[in-house]
């Protein structure tokens, strides 16, 4: 069981840090403009739901805070890489700054949105677990993740872009991101069942603590 928890923790931190690195890549999906992170970040909610279900609230919140700290570490090292003087023959400094340079407002918005949405996801999942008496994993997974993803989209887009774009554009950005996250939240339900079944194989549920 502990090895599985470590593996899920490693996957959580990987998806989280990768999401923040690739978020600067924008792509179009029909009329929507989305960051590449839209496919990696939702995985973190499947993991917190799985850990909440099998190991309990304490471990799930620890993973969230560990992810937050590792994000700060990653940001610090990316900044260090940016300010180190480039070798005279290395001509990619501008590209490095464009792709990996951090904008303080974006980083702050991302950190706030992450903490609020992930801690809410843990709380909401366990709240619905109590309400349903431990039944209907699909309902708990969807209700907690959909609400948390909405919080994440509203907080991040508002803090990152309010005042730089028109209100209508801001609303469209939030709606577009949330629409994709909503669909992905529905699609991740089978994976949540598989992850919980896999995690439970070697022992009993720890339950909420």
What pLDDT score does 209 carry?
47
What pLDDT score does 103 carry?
66
Best CA proximity match to 45, nearest among 21, 67, 72 = 67
Domains of the chain in sequence order: 2-200 (1.10.1760)
What pLDDT score does 125 carry?
94
| Segments of the chain scoring below 70 in pLDDT | 102-103, 202-209
Q: Tokens 């799985």 — which residue?
A: 50
Interaxial angle between packed helices 42-54 and 104-131, expressed in degrees from 0 to 180 and rounded to the nearest 10? 40
What pLDDT score does 206 carry?
47
What pLDDT score does 23 carry?
80
What pLDDT score does 143 carry?
93
What pLDDT score does 102 carry?
67
What pLDDT score does 31 carry?
79
pTM of structure: 0.84
């Amino acid at each position: 069981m502990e090895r599985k928890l470590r593996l899920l923790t490693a996957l959580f931190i990987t998806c989280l840090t990768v999401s923040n690195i690739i978020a600067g890549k924008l792509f179009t999906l029909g009329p929507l403009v989305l960051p590449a992170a839209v496919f990696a970040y939702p995985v973190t909610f499947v993991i917190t739901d799985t850990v909440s279900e099998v190991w309990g609230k304490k471990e799930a919140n620890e993973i969230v805070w560990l992810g937050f700290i590792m994000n700060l570490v990653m940001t610090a090292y990316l900044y260090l890489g940016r300010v180190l003087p480039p070798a005279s023959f290395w001509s990619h400094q501008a590209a490095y700054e464009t792709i990996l340079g951090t904008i303080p407002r974006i980083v702050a918005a991302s950190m706030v949105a992450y903490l609020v949405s992930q801690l809410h996801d843990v709380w909401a999942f366990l709240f619905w677990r109590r309400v349903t008496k431990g039944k209907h994993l699909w309902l708990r997974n969807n209700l907690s993740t959909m609400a948390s993803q909405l919080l994440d989209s509203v907080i991040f887009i508002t803090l990152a872009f309010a005042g730089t774009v028109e209100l209508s554009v801001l609303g469209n950005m939030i709606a577009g991101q949330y629409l994709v996250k909503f669909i992905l939240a529905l699609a991740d339900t089978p994976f949540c069942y598989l992850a919980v079944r896999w995690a439970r194989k070697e022992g009993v549920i720890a339950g909420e603590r």
